[in-house]
Amino acid sequence: MSDVRLARRFVVYAGVGAIGTLTQYAILIALVHSGSTSPAIGSMIGATLGAIVNYGLNRRITFRSSSNPLSTAPKFAIVALLGVLANGVCMKFFATSLELNYVLAQLVTTALVLGLTYLFNSVWTFND
């Protein structure tokens, strides 16, 4: 795959992921603002629901996968779980250890997790 095509695919992945990310941020802010959870737990709950949204969009739009969903969905779920765990660890570190504002911490965390999940989903989940 050419560098231009790889860059285009990453941009599409990020754009599609923005929908799941909006879902995650809305849940994070609602849960933290209401006092229901800590920023790390709220972020992980939001990331889980955002991942569900992202699977269908990435399968159809980003990777245009013709693979059987029974094959790709479990792989995507494993990558999403890895992303959720990385998200929780980063949020705990940035928001608790470094005492960054939880929204700023989430912005930094999102960039890190985006790169990680794109790599795994490209190479493993949707490698048709």
pTM of the model: 0.79
Residue ranges of the domains in the chain?
Answer: 3-125
| Residue 47 pLDDT | 84
For Cα atoms 53, 108, 113, give the angle at the middle one, nearest 5 degrees.
45
| Residue 16 pLDDT | 93
What mean pLDDT do residues 85-89 have?
91
Q: What would the pLDDT profile of 15-69 be if each residue is shown by its tens digit?
A: 999 999 899 889 999 999 999 999 989 988 998 898 888 999 999 999 999 889 9
Q: What would the pLDDT profile of 95-128 be if each residue is shown by its tens digit?
A: 999 999 999 998 999 899 999 999 999 999 998 6
CA–CA distance from 40 to each of 27, 64, 71, 117 (Å)?
12, 33, 30, 19
| Residue 113 pLDDT | 93
| Residue 128 pLDDT | 64
CA dihedral sign, ordered 61, 40, 86, 78: negative
